[in-house]
Structure 1
Amino acid sequence: MKKIFLTRTLDDLTLKKLKKRYQVEVHSGKIPISQTKLRSKIRGIEGLICFPYDKIDKKTIDLAENLKVISTYSVGFDHIDTEYAKKKGIKIGYTPEVLTDATADLTFALLLDLMRRVSEGDRTIRKKKWNEVYGAFDYVGFDLQGKTLGIIGLGRIGRALAKRASAFDMKINYHNRKRVSKTLEKTLGVKFASFEKIITESDIISIHVPHTKETEHMFNSNVFRKMKKTAFLINTSRGKVVNEKDLITALKKKTIAGAGLDVFEIEPIEKDSQLLRLENCLITPHIGSSTIETRKKMAEITMKNLDYGIRGEKPIYTL
C-alpha cells in the first residue's frame, strides 16, 4: 500500500476511509509539527496531507523522493512553496468554496461583536465591573445601519459578506484587482471604489485577499493614519496582509477604533503578543472554517485531492 502522512488528525470517518486505501501515519505530537519531524517523514511517502500551520518549503520538498501530491486542508496555500513543488512534478490540492459561508459568518460575527462590544461586555461582567457602566453613555457601541463597509477583495467570501451586510442596511463599497460586472454589483448592492476611498471613508474595513508579495503588509502605519479614528479593521484572510507591529501601535494610540482578527503573522499567536492585552482588539484562533459541516466537507475534498494526485490525475481543486 502507498504511504501517506498527515501532519494532524482528521475526523474518524475520513481516517477510516484513508486507512482502507493507504498505509497511514498521523502526527500525534505538538502542533504544528516540527520541521525536523516533517522532513524525516516526507522522505518515504507518496501523499502528504498538511494544514495552514505547516511550512512546506524548498528544503522540505527536496527531501520528498516519492511525493506525488500535497493536499492541504485549507483554502490558502501560502505555507507551501507551490511553484517549486510544481517544478518537481508534485501536484497541489486545496479546499476553496466549501468554507465560504462559514468564513463570511465569522467575519460578520467579528464585525457585529466589535460594533456592539459584545465580548468586551462579557469581560466586564466577569470582572464584576457591571456597576461601572450604568451611565447612559458609559458603555455604548455603534449602529450598523447606514455605516459604510469597505470590502478589500470581492471573491467568494467577500461576496458572501456583502450579502450579510446588506441585510443590516449597510452601505457597501469594495476594491478588487478587477471590477466585477455591473449586474453582480447590482445584485450584491455594492459599489466599486479605489483603495484610497475605501481606507479613508469606511467605518469598517474587511480584508479578503490572499497573501502574496503584492498584498504583504498592505495594511500598515500609512494606511492606519488615513483611516477614520472611529473605524474598525477586520482580517479573516491571512495574517501577513497586515503589519501587526503597526496595527498594535495604531490600536494603542487609538489611531483606529479597533480590530477583529482571526489570523496573525505568527500562528499560533505568540504568548507575549501585545494584542492579548488590548481591549480594542477582538481575537479568535483562526476558526474561519470551524463548523462541523464545513470541516467535514473540507476533509472529503482533501481526501479526494490526495486520491487524484496519487493516481497522477488532476486534483479537484488545484493550482
Structure 2
Amino acid sequence: MAVLQGDIKFPESLQRRLDENYDVVFEHDVENLKRRRDEILAIVVYYNKPSKEKLNELIDDLPNVRAIVNHGVGVNNIDLEAAKARGVQVSNLSGAEVSVADFAFALILAAARNVVQGHARSHNPMFTKIDFDWLGKEVSESAIGIVGMGRIGTEVAKRATQGFNMKVMYYNRKRRPLDEEISVRATYCESLNELLGNVDFVVVTVPGGKETSKMFGWDQFCAMKETAMFINVSRGSVVDQEALVRALKEKKIAGAALDVTDPEPLPCDHPLLTMDNVLITPHIASSTATTRKLMFEVFLQNVDAALQGKELPNRVI
C-alpha cells in the first residue's frame, strides 16, 4: 500500500498501473488515511515534494511504514536522519543521467552560440540585415569544469571529450578512481576555485541539500573567467541568485544557462528573466519519453521492494 502526497496525481498511464497493481491511499483523503494507517507500508513522493516536516509527521503517524519511495533523483526534500532513526528506507531514481547530460550540452551550445537570441532576431520583423560581427563562443577544444562527478557529471565528461575534444576538469567531494579519470580524460581539482579560474564553461551537477546550499555565490562567480559561462542542471538551491544577478550585471561572467532556479518558476519580475545573456528552461533536463519511462520502471521496482519488505534497489539510506 502506498501513500501519494498531495492532490497532484501521476500521469494517466502511471496512475493506471498504480491503480491496477497497488492499493493506494491518498494523503489528502484524511479519513481514509486515518482508518487505514496501520496498513500503509510505503510513502510515495512525486514531483509536488511535500515539506520535510509533513513527511516526518506521516512517518510518525504511520506505524508500519517501511520506506519512502522518491520519484526523483534528489532527496533533499526528505529528512534522511529522521527516516533513518525510524528504520525507514529511502530510495531515489536512476536513469536520468543520459538525458540530463545531453541537455547540459544543449544549454552549453545554445548559450555559447546565441541560439535563442538568434531565433528571436530571425523572427523579428525589424531584422533586415545579418550582423557578421555578432560572434559566439567556441565550444570545441575549450575547457569545461564539472562540479559534481557522479553519474551525470561523468556523462557530461564523456560528451565533452568524445564529441567536442574539450579539456575536462572536475571538482568532487571525493576524487574518482584513476581509471575513471583516464576513461573520460578528466583532471581532478583539489579546490573549487582552482577549477573555476581555468575553464570556459562551469557545469553544475551536484545534488541539492544543506551541503550544497548556495555553493555558488559572489566569491565563486568572481573566481571564474570573465569570458566563462555558468550552466546549472542540478538544483536551484546551489546558487545564490542575487550574487548571480550581480555577477552578470557587473560582467564578472559572460552568461548563464539554467534549467533550475529557486523558486521554480521564478517570479515574472525577477531580473534573471530580463537579461540577454541568461537562458532559462523549466527544469526539463530529464524530460524525454525514453528517460521518463525508464525512471518509472525503476520507481515501480522500488515500490515493489518496499511492499515486500526487501531492500530498495535504489536505496539512499
Q: Same fold (TM over 0.5)?
A: yes
Q: Which amino acid aligns with 1:315?
A: L
1:304 paired residue number? 301
- 1:158 corresponds to 2:153: yes
Q: Which amino acid aligns with 1:69?
A: A
How many angstroms does 1:318 deviate by? 1.1
1:22 paired residue number? 22
1:130-149 alignment to 2 at 5 Å?
130-131=127-128, 134-137=130-133, 139-149=134-144
| 8 A Cα contact 1:258 1:280, kept in partner | yes
CA distance in 2, matches of 1:19, 1:180: 42
2:186 paired residue number? 190
Q: Which amino acid aligns with 1:19?
A: D
CA distance in 1, matches of 2:25, 2:66: 16
Instruction: Name the SS for the 1:131 alignment partner.
Output: coil
1:210 paired residue number? 207
1:181 paired residue number? 177
How many angstroms does 1:105 deviate by? 0.4
| 8 A Cα contact 1:201 1:227, kept in partner | yes
Given the superposition, is the C-alpha separation of residues 229 and 3 from structure 1 closer, same or farther in structure 2, using an over 3 Å criterion? closer
The alignment yields a C-alpha RMSD, in angstroms, of 2.3
CA distance in 1, matches of 2:149, 2:120: 34
Q: Describe the superposition over 1:139-161 as per-residue Cα deviations: whole angstroms up to 9, x where unpaired.
A: 21011122110111111111111
Instruction: Name the SS for the 1:71 alignment partner.
Output: strand
How many angstroms does 1:191 deviate by? 1.3
Q: Which amino acid aligns with 1:214?
A: E
Given the superposition, is the C-alpha separation of residues 151 and 296 from structure 1 closer, same or farther in structure 2, using an over 3 Å criterion? same
How many angstroms does 1:217 deviate by? 1.1
CA distance in 2, matches of 1:10, 1:292: 15
CA distance in 2, matches of 1:9, 1:310: 20
CA distance in 2, matches of 1:104, 1:211: 17
Instruction: Name the SS for the 1:130 alignment partner.
Output: coil
Given the superposition, is the C-alpha separation of residues 299 and 70 from structure 1 closer, same or farther in structure 2, using an over 3 Å criterion? same
Instruction: Name the SS for the 1:106 alignment partner.
Output: helix
How many angstroms does 1:224 deviate by? 0.9
1:32 paired residue number? none
| 8 A Cα contact 1:152 1:209, kept in partner | yes
CA distance in 2, matches of 1:63, 1:41: 14
What TM-score results when the alignment is normalised by the length of structure 1?
0.88
- 1:253 corresponds to 2:224: no
1:90 paired residue number? 88
2:70 paired residue number? 72
CA distance in 2, matches of 1:270, 1:189: 40
Q: Describe the superposition over 1:149-178 as per-residue Cα deviations: whole angstroms up to 9, x where unpaired.
A: 011111111111111111212111111222
CA distance in 1, matches of 2:299, 2:51: 16
Q: Describe the superposition over 1:178-206 as per-residue Cα deviations: whole angstroms up to 9, x where unpaired.
A: 22233222211111223222111111000
CA distance in 2, matches of 1:290, 1:208: 16
| 8 A Cα contact 1:42 1:63, kept in partner | no
CA distance in 1, matches of 2:103, 2:208: 19
CA distance in 1, matches of 2:246, 2:74: 28
Q: Which amino acid aligns with 1:268?
A: P
CA distance in 2, matches of 1:40, 1:262: 39
| 8 A Cα contact 2:10 2:46, kept in partner | no
Given the superposition, is the C-alpha separation of residues 18 and 50 from structure 1 closer, same or farther in structure 2, using an over 3 Å criterion? same
Given the superposition, is the C-alpha separation of residues 40 and 304 from structure 1 closer, same or farther in structure 2, using an over 3 Å criterion? farther
CA distance in 2, matches of 1:115, 1:221: 22
| 8 A Cα contact 2:2 2:44, kept in partner | no
CA distance in 1, matches of 2:106, 2:285: 11
Instruction: Name the SS for the 1:301 alignment partner.
Output: helix
How many angstroms does 1:26 deviate by? 6.4
What TM-score results when the alignment is normalised by the length of structure 2?
0.88
1:5 paired residue number? 4
1:278-293 alignment to 2 at 5 Å?
278-293=275-290
| 8 A Cα contact 1:52 1:79, kept in partner | no
Given the superposition, is the C-alpha separation of residues 122 and 85 from structure 1 closer, same or farther in structure 2, using an over 3 Å criterion? same
CA distance in 2, matches of 1:283, 1:208: 16
2:292 paired residue number? 295
| 8 A Cα contact 1:173 1:193, kept in partner | yes
Q: How many residues align?
A: 306
Q: Which amino acid aligns with 2:20?
A: K
| 8 A Cα contact 2:5 2:48, kept in partner | no
The answer for unaligned runs of 5 or more in structure 1 is: 28-36
How many angstroms does 1:16 deviate by? 2.7
